[in-house]
Amino acid sequence: MPPQIDPENLAAWVARCRDGDSAAFELLFEAFRGPLYSYLARTTGDRHLAEDLLQDVFLRLIENIGRYEESGRFEAWIFRIAANRVRDWARRRTSSEWVGSMTGRSEDSDEPGVLDRSVDQPPDEGLVRREEVARLETAMSHLEREEREVLALRHYSELSFREIAEISGCPLGTVLARSHRALLKLRHELEAAEKESEKKKSPRKK
């Protein structure tokens, strides 16, 4: 869920945060922790890693907010920081044989795994809805990391594809091609999972 913040409020919070106003920082933290964490967790498939990255993103926000120029959207700026953290993580993973045991964290698996869902579902969600969400999360977890990333960025940041291209440093064509492929995969996987679920539900009749 992308942040629904009045742009004027946001600009005021950013200005106050830049002046060291901790109440303004708290407002920014509350507004962006969910979308940023969701993006990081969906992309990496690892909640603990996402927590570390989230902390890193907010530290960098504090360190760099003095350099934020208001010509661009704050959402794009903060998600660019997060995307850079993800890029660093991905780069470290690819050179993990070089890093070896230095990290102390096992990062050599390509399997993102399905995130623990139980934490996030409102208690009043119906069984059908929960099943749908579970299928969606499973389908997401089966995408390639870069596909998950672009979809998560799109969904949680609510940035346009052009803005996503800009903050991720990729040509727009690459972002569109990746998103297109990911969406079709997601769609097909969901369709297959729905059929499978229907098959299981309907009792065998003679």
Partner 1 sequence: MGCENSENLLLLAAGELESPQAAALRAHLAACPACAAELEELRSGLAALSRLSELRPAPAVERKIYAATAGRLHRYRLIRPNFVRRYRSALAVAAALAVVFGWSIMADLLRPGPDAAALRQMWTATTANVIDSGVMSDELADLNAGDAWSQAGHQVFSGINKADLTGELLDLRDGVGQIEDELGG
Nearer to partner 1, 10 or 164 (CB): 164
Under DSSP, the state recorded for 100 is G
| 6 close to 75: Cβ distance less than 8 angstroms | no
| 92 close to 103: Cβ distance less than 8 angstroms | yes
Q: Could you say whether residue 22 binds partner 1 (CB under 8 A)?
A: yes
- Structure token digits, residue 103: 């990290």
Smallest separation (angstroms) from partner 1 to the CB of 11: 18
Q: Could you say whether residue 160 binds partner 1 (CB under 8 A)?
A: yes
Nearer to partner 1, 119 or 200 (CB): 119
Euclidean distance between CA atoms 191 and 126, whole angstroms:
20
Q: Could you say whether residue 1 binds partner 1 (CB under 8 A)?
A: yes
Q: Which residue has the tokens 């992308």?
A: 2
Q: Could you say whether residue 127 binds partner 1 (CB under 8 A)?
A: no
Q: Could you say whether residue 195 binds partner 1 (CB under 8 A)?
A: no
Q: Could you say whether residue 157 binds partner 1 (CB under 8 A)?
A: no
CA distances from 47 to 50, 128, 181 (A): 5, 25, 25
Nearer to partner 1, 103 or 109 (CB): 103
Query: Which of 115, 143, 153, 167: binder of partner 1 (CB under 8 A)?
Result: 115
- Structure token digits, residue 66: 């003095």
Q: Could you say whether residue 151 binds partner 1 (CB under 8 A)?
A: yes
The DSSP line for 16-70 is HHHTT-HHHHHHHHHHHHHHHHHHHHHHHS-HHHHHHHHHHHHHHHHHHGGG--T
Region 40-79 residues binding partner 1, contact defined as CB under 8 A: 41-42, 47, 50-51, 54-55, 58-64, 66-67
Beta carbons within 10 angstroms of residue 84's beta carbon: 16
Element (H, E) at 10: helix 7-18
Interaction site with partner 1 (CB under 8 A): 1, 17, 19-20, 22, 25-26, 29, 33-35, 37-38, 41-42, 47, 50-51, 54-55, 58-64, 66-67, 84, 88, 91-92, 95, 98-99, 102-103, 115, 119-121, 132-133, 136-137, 139-140, 151-152, 154-156, 160-162, 172-173, 176-177, 179-180, 182-184, 186-187, 190
